[in-house]
Amino acid sequence: MPRLRFIKQGRAAWISHLDLMRVFQRAFKRAGLPLKHTQGFNPRPSVSIALPMSVGVSSRCELLDFDLEGMSLPCDEITRRLNDALIEGVEVIKTYELGQKVKYIGFLDCKVSMQYDGGVKCGAVEKIAELFARKELFVEKQGKNGTVLRDIIPMIRKISVSADGENQICIFARICCQEPSLNPAQLVVAVEKELEDLKPDSVSYERIEIYDREENLFQ
Amino acid sequence: MTELLKRILPTVQKPARYTGGEYNEIKKDLSQVRVRVAFCFPDTYEIGMSNVGMRILYGLMNEMEGVWCERVFTPWADMQQAMQQNDLPLWALESQSPVKDFDMVAFTIGYEMCYSNILSMLKMSGIPLRSSERKGLKNIVFAGGVCAFNPEPLAEFVDFFCLGEGEDIAREVVSLYDKAKAEDWTKEQYLLEVSKIPGVYVPSFYRHEYNEDGTLSAIVPLNGAPKVVTKRIVEDLDSAYWPTKMIVPSTEIVHDRANLEVFRGCIRGCRFCQAGFSCRPVRKKSPEVLYRQAVETLEHSGDNEITLSSLSTSDYRGLKELTDQLIPYCEQNHINLSVPSLRADNFSRELMEKLRSVRKTGLTFAPEAGTQRLRDVINKNLTEEEILTTCQNAFSGGWSSVKLYFMLGLPTETDEDVLGIAELVYKVIQTWKAYATNKKRGLRVHVSTSYFVPKPHTPFQWEKQISPEEYLRRCRLLKSHFYSHSIVYDYHGPDLSQLEAVFARGDRRLGKVLECATELGAKLDGWDEYFNYSYWYDAFQKCGIDPNFYTVRGYGEEEILPWDAIDVGVSKAFLLRERRRAYEGCVTPDCREGCAGCGANCLLKEVSCDA
């Protein structure tokens, strides 16, 4: 099955996972790229997006698997046609055959930008860095059976904290994203819980890159 | 997008409906734009984006050079609250500019229960509610849609109404505004000129006078306004504007598919139906044009479903020709073709079998009344035999669920008619027992009754609405006669339909009730989770207005009606004739069988009525 890598940003960041599949199904159709349909009484075009993302998160590294009906086109041609038919904020970077199996995805680099309207407090960066340097850090997670406390430290492979201008702190982290997976929002939950005075006024999230279980770039 | 909006979006449900940026959205360079139109739909994005009329007018106004039309929808309650807390004014999706910055603010109004949304949208925009409080040419508020056929409850708030189909009139009023703005006219000057455009109704140019009993004594035209304003129609649908490049929402909407209107008007004369009379005369569209537009629309949207819509698609003469062409195209391209509201005739049955989209789950009928006598009164020409034969075919073909829609409170209705519903349902169950091929799956009969609302411009426009208590009594009576476990019976509380009846036939004195209820908190009334009758009850009390005046009282045939200055083409003499026939239980054959002389053909100059 061919795969494409795409960006989702700007206004399009607010499109939900399910809606984004609809957006692609229609874009394929407009691009004159007929998708194979699932068998069954109510056939659906087969597209699947690798790691579902929360609404509002932007990404530079989304993956979508698809299957075209009875035609073989050069990958560059597919990329070009799709980009002509897509919406602002969603852009295909490249299309390729023979991607790795999605189950081998292991890690994700993400950027968490925390905005402080009154300016970043003195020592804040250090405090947050210390927080994530702890041996263990338990954070509440909403699960299917109520909330559970989980230690998030084993799920963080790398982390760096830095100030970005007067009003913003950025966390760059490499985190587990599949079995187990850590939602980047949990990093902020940890800050809010442990360092109450460093609660940000707003936060934005971005996915930067994905890796396999050996931390090699995932294709 | 502003930083503020970015902060609010994560806190509300379905943020994608507030961002714009969909495929085929129209953006213009503001330095080249002379007239900005904020096209407001007084309900949510999901409802508004499903409206074909809005799609047509959006495309059409944006094709005008120097004009930029943008979309505005009613925010959901969580967003309304966040906007209020953060002093964020209502914005248009395309440019994200505040609505207050627009030259013209247009509303399309299809349902009485969105009136409070109109006022709250103006309020959220920071635009004064009353027409008299908006002094300049900026923020001219105008409206159209079926509710404009009795616009009186909104008379104080809307500067002018466009009656009928909008294709031509929208261009005319916007072009006139363009001229007015360039020449720096006053608002009064613009209203005076716009009132000369056929189909434009400027409510402030009509003085309403009342008798002591509260009924109207006169409607006096002022400033040379016409005594009666006649609605506009498009005569030739083949050459009418059709937007093939339609916006493709990035989030799921109610009618998530392409929608093609196959003809306008209706040959059936169901006496309760406002659309059936107010959308006359019948005008056809040719199958060739429809096929071309269907293909172009689908290719520009990428939709995987298309609906052929109209008031009664089985009555479209070109249906066979169109579907013969369209079905192969759709099959080849994995597109579902759906043809809703088909009648139970032979061709429709064949067609249904050919359509892939028909799943063997449901079958829907709207007999509206339980006995043949009452169906004759309302001129709903659907017989028990037709219903049972169709059910028989469907059950033997594997269907196992039927939906039946009725109204309670129809003119001349007795308990016998109410119980006739139970009898008909019983016969449907018997038919299933006799013909079902797969009885293990069981049968579901969904029965739903609604509370009859008399509407303007119908033969029932003078009728009383039964009281809410009486409506509930009839619901309970019916319920007590449903014995089978296969029946699922739904009925709504009477409050919403009672209000709908008040506003459907209301006059301008209701403006203050509307304002008061909105002030008290009425919003999103069409949504069960937000509709709260107590706001309306309190508003009626505070304003000293008795809702019964508009409902259980009934209107006299000699009485001046609030919508008498508005002509939809169908004559009052015809409506009265039909009312008489209703009381006599006399059926009026459909227009194709014989012209009943409704008068709507007088609206046509170039072509004749295609009934």
Tell me what the mean pLDDT of segment B568-597 comes to.
96
- Alpha-carbon distances, residue B283 vs A75, B185, B591 (angstroms): 49, 38, 13
Tell me what the mean pLDDT of segment A116-127 comes to.
94
The residue count of chain A comes to 219
Scanning B195-338, the segments in alpha helix (DSSP H) are: 274-278, 287-301, 319-332
Instruction: Report pLDDT for B2.
Output: 81
CB B12 within 8 A of CB B82: yes
> Which CATH number is associated with domain A104-212?
3.30.70
Hey, what's the torsion of the CAs at B589, B590, B592, B593, to 10 degrees?
-10
Cβ atoms within 10 Å, residue B522: 27
Instruction: Report pLDDT for A116.
Output: 96
- pLDDT above 60: residue B357: no
Q: Read off the pLDDT band of B330 (50, 70, 90).
A: very high
Minimal-distance CA residue of chain B relative to A13: B16
Please give the structure tokens belonging to residue B324: 């013969």
Instruction: Report pLDDT for B358.
Output: 47
Going from N- to C-terminal start, the domains of chain A cover: 3-99, 104-212
CB A15 within 8 A of CB A21: no
- Nearest partner of B366 among B346, B349, B344, judged by Cα: B344
Q: Tell whether A24 lies on the interface with B, counting CB pairs under 8 A.
A: no
Which residue matches tokens 């405090």? A127
As a three-state string, the secondary structure of B433-463 is HHHCCCHHHCCEEEEEEEECCCCCCCCCCCC
| pLDDT tens figures, B457-493 | 999 999 999 999 999 999 999 999 999 999 999 998 9
Instruction: Report pLDDT for B277.
Output: 97
State the smallest CA–CA distance between residue B116 and chain A in angstroms.
Answer: 29
Q: What is the DSSP string of B451-501?
A: E----TTSTTTTPPPPPHHHHHHHHHHHHTT---TTEEEEE--SHHHHHHH
Q: Tell whether B304 lies on the interface with A, counting CB pairs under 8 A.
A: yes
Minimal-distance CA residue of chain B relative to A45: B334
| pLDDT tens figures, B230-264 | 999 999 999 999 999 999 999 999 999 999 999 99
DSSP reduced 3-state for B257: coil
Minimal-distance CA residue of chain B relative to A86: B23
- pLDDT above 90: residue B530: yes
Interstrand relation of B305-309 and B258-261 (parallel, antiparallel or unpaired): parallel
d(CA B312, CA B323): 15
- pLDDT above 90: residue B375: yes
| pLDDT tens figures, A47-82 | 999 999 999 999 999 999 999 988 789 999 999 999
- pLDDT above 50: residue B502: yes
Which residues does chain B have within 8 Å of residue A29's beta carbon, measured at their own beta carbons?
Answer: 302-304, 333
Instruction: Report pLDDT for B341.
Output: 73
- Residues β-bridged to residue B407: B450
- pLDDT above 90: residue A98: no
Question: Which B residues, 311 through 340, put their C-beta within 8 Å of a C-beta on chain A?
Answer: 333-334
Q: How far is CA B487 from the centre of its chain?
A: 30
- Residues β-bridged to residue B447: B404, B489
Pick the CATH number of A3-99 from 3.40.50.1390, 3.30.70.580, 3.30.1360.30, 3.40.190.100: 3.30.70.580
Do A41 and B359 lie within an 8 Å CB cutoff? Answer: yes
Domains A3-99 and A104-212 share a fold: yes
- Residues β-bridged to residue B73: B41
State the smallest CA–CA distance between residue A32 and chain B in angstroms.
Answer: 9
Minimal-distance CA residue of chain B relative to A14: B16
d(CA B597, CA B587): 15
Which residue from B19, B251, B301 is facing A26, i.e. has the nearest CB? B301
The rounded radius of gyration (Å) of the Cα atoms in chain A is 20
What number is the ipTM of this complex? 0.92
Cβ atoms within 10 Å, residue A40: 7
Do A88 and B21 lie within an 8 Å CB cutoff? Answer: yes
- Please give the domain boundaries of chain B with CATH numbers for all domains: 3-230 (3.40.50.280), 234-358+569-611 (3.30.750.210)
| pLDDT tens figures, B91-109 | 999 999 999 999 999 999 9
Q: How far is CA B51 from the centre of its chain?
A: 9
- Nearest partner of B225 among B248, B184, B192, judged by Cα: B192
State the smallest CA–CA distance between residue B244 and chain A in angstroms.
Answer: 13
Interstrand relation of B487-491 and A156-163 (parallel, antiparallel or unpaired): unpaired
Round the average pLDDT of chain B to a whole number and report it.
Answer: 95
Minimal-distance CA residue of chain B relative to A85: B23
d(CA B314, CA B524): 34
Instruction: Report pLDDT for B356.
Output: 55
Q: Tell whether B23 lies on the interface with A, counting CB pairs under 8 A.
A: yes
DSSP reduced 3-state for B564: coil
Hey, what's the torsion of the CAs at B537, B543, B544, B548, to 10 degrees?
-50
Instruction: Report pLDDT for B610.
Output: 92
- pLDDT above 80: residue B147: yes
Q: Tell whether B484 lies on the interface with A, counting CB pairs under 8 A.
A: no
Instruction: Report pLDDT for B565.
Output: 97
Cis peptide upstream of residue B281 (ω within 30 degrees of 0):
yes
Q: Read off the pLDDT band of B437 (50, 70, 90).
A: confident
Q: What percent of chain B has pLDDT over 90?
A: 88
Do B21 and A29 lie within an 8 Å CB cutoff? Answer: no
Amino acid at residue number B275: A
Q: pTM score, two decimals?
A: 0.95
CB A207 within 8 A of CB A61: yes
The rounded radius of gyration (Å) of the Cα atoms in chain B is 24
| pLDDT tens figures, A160-211 | 999 999 999 999 999 999 988 999 999 999 999 999 999 999 999 999 999 9
Which residue matches tokens 């020409």? B381
For the ranges B142-156, B360-374, B529-543, B546-560, the lowest mean pLDDT is seen at B360-374
Cβ atoms within 10 Å, residue A133: 11
Do A12 and B303 lie within an 8 Å CB cutoff? Answer: no
d(CA B195, CA A194): 67
Burial B43-61 (b: 16+ CB within 10 A, else e): bbbbbbbbbbbbbbbbbbb
- Alpha-carbon distances, residue B186 vs B107, B134, B137, B171, B349 (angstroms): 22, 11, 6, 20, 59
Instruction: Report pLDDT for B381.
Output: 85
Minimal-distance CA residue of chain B relative to A11: B19
Instruction: Report pLDDT for B362.
Output: 66
Which residues neighbour B473 within 8 Å (Cβ) at sequence distance 6 or greater?
Answer: none
Q: Counting one residue from A and one from B, how many pairs have CB atoms under 8 Å apart?
A: 78
Q: Which residue of A26, A68, A203 to mutate against B (max B Cβ within 10 Å)? A: A26
